[in-house]
Amino acid sequence: MTMSNEGLSLTLNASARSEQVARGEGVQHERVIIIGSGPAGLTAALYTARANLNPLVIAGHELGGQVSLTYEIENYPGFPQGLSGQELVELMKAQAERFGARIKLFSAVTEVDFSKGSPFWLKTDDGTEYLADAVIVTVGATARRLNVPGEKEFTGHGVSYCATCDGFFFRDQNVVVVGGGDSALEEALFLTRFAKRVDIVHRRDQLRAGATLQQRAFANDKIHFIWDTVVEEIIGDEKVRAVRLRNLKTGEVRDYPTDGVFIFIGHDPNSDLFKGQLERDEFGYLVTDRLMRTNIEGVFAAGEVQDRIYRQVATSVGQGAAAAMSAERWLAEHEAERASQPHTVAPNE
């Protein structure tokens, strides 16, 4: 008997979950599942959809992830007038859906089992179980918050977690940078291209950043330091007007005028779900090779969950495209291998 290429999928392994699917017992079988709906995930959806893989995107509870919170994006190619993060996400979603991607909104993956190989088992918070021949992980990273009053209210209206994204909007203004590591100094130096004054607020009396970055920061006339101090509140009306600072040594509290607050106290990749299954580096980022392959064959990762260096929309899009192309090739190779194997006809066929 000759098998058609239509609907061809990988051989189910001998797990109990695979047997459930074979018997049609409520587990949904997909060729490709993409976990996450940021720029990397939606790009992967576009590419796998155009390859006729009928991908399912499990979007999470916030379509677009972190980028959807960005007030305006002016550094993504093709949009010379800029657009908001939410507008970009909606355009990416519409383009992926045009080619057949299915996007499941308001649903997040809560459990996975990659230990038995393809097909991989996943479960979402609504109780739905899936098997996927290939998986692309694009769950991103989350900027650490100060968790102080005013931070959430003014995010996108003076509070930012990305100088590259938002620095331009603070031309000739005064801004505060919170943090003392490499990211804080790199972003502060970037902000000096636009801002009139950059005040770095750090809870200690010395920086954690590398020596070269410190030298550059200390040598920059626009950068000033507020030591031994934390931000206790972000104050404003329609946008940020000041930060409430407390000196940890003296206890002094003061309101310090500023036009913007850039928070760089670190990012946390959203990779805990895959702990013990996918390889992670010392910072928790998923480890991939140049083809976006993880240590589990058939599982790929793209975007900020595996990228602690660039963290830009443009780089995430490129990584999402690469992951999709690698997944497509991997599926084609393994499905061709299965098709070439002799098929034993069961007595009832």
Helices (H), 156-274: 163-166, 182-191, 211-219
Rounded to a whole number of angstroms, the CA Rg of the chain reads 24
Copy the structure tokens of residue 93: 């979603």
Among 125, 126, 165, 205, which one carries the catalytic annotation? Answer: 165
3-class state of residue 175 by DSSP:
strand
- Is 182 noted as a catalytic residue in this protein? no
Among 113, 125, 133, 162, which one carries the catalytic annotation? Answer: 162
- Is 307 noted as a catalytic residue in this protein? no
Compute φ and ψ for 60, nearest 5 degrees. Answer: 85, -175
3-class state of residue 254 by DSSP:
strand
Among 125, 126, 166, 182, which one carries the catalytic annotation? Answer: 166
CA-to-CA distance for 208 and 227, rounded, in angstroms? Answer: 13
Please tell me whether the peptide bond between 342 and the residue prior to it is cis, using omega within 30 degrees of 0.
no
- Is 289 noted as a catalytic residue in this protein? no
By CB atoms closer than 10 A (0-12, 13-18, 19+), residue 185 is: buried
CA-to-CA distance for 20 and 26, rounded, in angstroms? Answer: 7
3-class state of residue 185 by DSSP:
helix
CA-to-CA distance for 115 and 302, rounded, in angstroms? Answer: 20
Alpha carbon 32 to chain centroid, angstroms: 19
By annotation, the residues acting in catalysis are 162, 165-166
